[in-house]
Amino acid sequence: MEKREVLASVKDERLVEKRRTQMIKGAVTLFKEKGFHRTTTREIAKAAGFSIGTLYEYIRTKEDILYLVCDFIYDEVQEKLQKEIDQSDGTLDSLKMTIAYFYKVMDDMQDEVLVMYQEVKALTKDALPYVLNKEIRMVGMFEKVITKCVENGELLLTEKQISLLSHNIFVQGQMWSFRRWALHKEYTLQEYIDVQTQLLIQNVSFHKSADIKSFQ
């Protein structure tokens, strides 16, 4: 699915990227505090450090900013996660490390993830499928790691189980952000990682010396 084009009257691509990054940072703070619909473009421009006139040189609508926010967040998470996944060697330890790393990224980007979770429904019809497809691609990154474990005999799972486990890992990572008002009272980040990892893989892992369970 092709990236949705956000039109700008400025032709300098480096300047466009710089100004849009400023917009995104300002918008995340405002969307978190007030929500997308109650935030004005004038407020976003002020938070970004320039005038409303300048803002409209880089976007056309407020919905453009929300799209840029969501696109940026997914790109940022995917870039960080890809480095960890590339190092995965198909062992349970590497899977656990990948899960832990992902949850730490979710912790680092709590505000961004919360905004995306709350406001993605406000995206335009042409932007929403593209953004959701990026989420599916990230779930697919976990599928690759889990599939390596299956191929190495570390896990015994069907394709559907691999897919569902991948979705579970992804959602549990996001939950640290959108349920933080409750979870942070009970768990440190490391405690959350340890408990969730145990719950996610304890029933699907086995060692060569143990009896193999079939999940067909």
Domain-by-domain residue ranges, the chain?
A: 64-208
- In the CATH hierarchy, which top-level class contains the domain 64-208? mainly alpha
Q: Report residue 210's pLDDT band, with 50, 70 and 90 as the boundaries.
A: very low
- Please state, in angstroms and rounded to a whole number, the distance separating the CA atoms of residues 120 and 111: 14
Please answer whether residues 146 and 165 qualify as being in contact, where contact means their C-beta atoms are separated by less than 8 angstroms: yes
- Please state, in angstroms and rounded to a whole number, the distance separating the CA atoms of residues 72 and 101: 19
Task: Identify residue 116 by its one-letter amino acid code.
Answer: M
- The arithmetic mean of pLDDT across residues 107-135, rounded, is 90
pLDDT tens digits, 46-85? 999 999 999 999 999 999 999 999 999 989 998 888 888 8
The SS3 of residue 155 is strand
What does the pLDDT read at residue 12? 95
- The arithmetic mean of pLDDT across residues 124-129, rounded, is 89
Residue in the block written with tokens 């969307």 = 31
Residue in the block written with tokens 């499928």 = 129
Q: Which residues contact 127 (CB under 8 A, 6 or more apart)?
A: 4, 63, 67, 70
pLDDT tops 60 at residue 211: no
Rg of the chain (C-alpha set): 20
